[in-house]
Amino acid sequence: MAYRVHILETEEAFEVEAGESVLEGAQRSAVKLPHECTFGGCGTCRIKLASGAVRYDEFPMALTPEEAEQGYALACQARPTGDLCISVASSRQAFPEPRRIPATIHRIQPYCDDVIHLTLALPGEGLDYVPGQYMNVVLPDGATRSFSMASAPAGNLIDFHIRRIPGGRCTDQWLGQAGTGAPVEIEAPLGVFSYHEEDWRPLIMMATGTGIAPIKAILESLLDNEDCPPVTLYWGMRTEADLYLRDEIARWADRLYEFNFVPVLSRAGQEWTGRRGYVQHAVLEDHQDLSEHAFYLCGAPDMIRQAKQLLAERGASLDHMYADSFTFQHELAAA
């Protein structure tokens, strides 16, 4: 038995066959829905049910029970139990079509023990992308690795922050042997994580590890922007030595409206006088009412999942919560 799915924003409709997910039915009918990982780990395919219900073979990692109770679902895992009417998150932002692009390594240097600063040079005038998006690097064996652009579009050079995975094919084998001028093929731009200007809300941004990269790109695009709302950035790391962008971020205070930078360390030494613990708890300590903010969460999947739940309990609007879960890097690190 097939169920009909209607999209409110575009008036498109498609059918989902028995056993199919919403995303699979949309793809079969050539209807575009935002998606990335396709296994429920990133949350990019989040939709809202205006009517109807769905089930899951296994409740997806990137969806919280609070989101499900409010009618949200992940299209890649959700299986309709009847006809659906859905809403797909929209933005004023238009995303360029991804393409394969030849690039060369412009610079490789360490930021700290665990993070590599990679700069790629692209042909011509560079790449048209939206701050917050990412690329896939195509490794010599055909495998791909995903990394967020860490700089706003400007010329033909793009920065990336790459967490070093000991023994990893990308960081130790490929980058460990590559040098300046080495060719690399990339697929970009990808993803829909981006700044939502239409929200008109104060921003709370939360990053862990190299999750600071897409946040940096977004905030760089807002430097000296008269329409920039108040911004509070929480960046979680283990030790003070890991805060590889600390000084650069601090200098943004003169160029962003009411900018507040809060580094949070989970394994701080005795000499550290700043915040300790985890970013999601630091936000709750600083804000009793979160109902008027927009949230940008980037980094470890566990942080994002817990943060969504805690923020919602404090009154945060799930309609103004945007996340970029570093699912693939997280899995590699765990392995």
* Shared-domain flag, residues 173 and 212: no
Q: What pLDDT is stored for residue 72 in this prediction?
A: 94
Q: How far, CA to CA in Å, does 23 sit from each of 28, 94, 95?
A: 9, 21, 19
Cα(68)–Cα(57) distance, integer angstroms: 15
Structure tokens at 291: 């109902």
How long, in residues, is the chain? 335
Structure tokens at 16: 């989902």
Q: How far, CA to CA in Å, does 14 sit from each of 74, 120, 162, 261?
A: 17, 41, 39, 46
Are the C-beta atoms of 304 and 278 separated by less than 8 Å? no
Q: What pLDDT is stored for residue 41 in this prediction?
A: 84
pLDDT at 6 over 50: yes
Question: Among residues 162, 190, 218, which one ends one of the domains?
Answer: 190
Residue 171 makes CB contacts below 8 A (sequence gap 6+) with 116, 162, 163, 164, 165
Q: Which amino acid is at 193?
A: F
pLDDT at 133 over 90: yes
Question: Closest by alpha carbon to 129, among 9, 221, 257, 233?
Answer: 221
Cα(280)–Cα(297) distance, integer angstroms: 10
Q: What pLDDT is stored for residue 289 in this prediction?
A: 94
* Shared-domain flag, residues 182 and 209: no
Question: Among residues 148, 163, 190, which one ends one of the domains?
Answer: 190
| Single pTM value for the model | 0.88
Q: Which amino acid is at 262?
A: V
Bridge partners for 73 per DSSP: 47
Counting the structural domains of the chain, the total is: 3
Question: Among residues 190, 222, 238, which one ends one of the domains?
Answer: 190
* Shared-domain flag, residues 184 and 206: no
Instruction: Give the number of C-alpha atoms closer than 13 A to the C-alpha of residue 232, restricted to the C-beta side.
Output: 17
Average pLDDT on 1-11 reads 92
pLDDT tens-place string over residues 136-191 = 999 888 888 899 999 999 999 999 999 988 877 777 777 877 889 999 999 999 98
Domain presence at residue 334: no
Q: What pLDDT is stored for residue 266 in this prediction?
A: 97
* Shared-domain flag, residues 76 and 126: no
Q: Which of 1-15, 84-98, 247-261, 293-307 has the lowest mean pLDDT?
A: 84-98
* Shared-domain flag, residues 285 and 322: yes
Structure tokens at 258: 């009411």
pLDDT at 335 over 70: no
Whose tokens are 């109902």? That residue is: 291
* Shared-domain flag, residues 111 and 141: yes
* Shared-domain flag, residues 115 and 153: yes
Q: What pLDDT is stored for residue 268 in this prediction?
A: 96
Return the CATH number at 116: 2.40.30.10
SS3 content of the chain, % helix, strand, coil (to 5): 25, 30, 45
Give the β-pairing of 84-88 and 3-7: parallel
Computed over every residue of the chain, the mean pLDDT equals 92
pLDDT tens-place string over residues 88-132 = 876 667 788 899 999 999 999 999 999 999 999 999 888 999 999
Return the CATH number at 288: 3.40.50.80
pLDDT tens-place string over residues 221-271 = 999 999 999 999 999 999 999 999 999 999 999 999 999 999 999 999 999
Instruction: Give the number of C-alpha atoms closer than 13 A to the C-alpha of residue 100, restricted to the C-beta side.
Output: 6
Average pLDDT on 67-81 reads 95
* Shared-domain flag, residues 202 and 320: yes
Domain with 32, as residue range(s), is 3-88
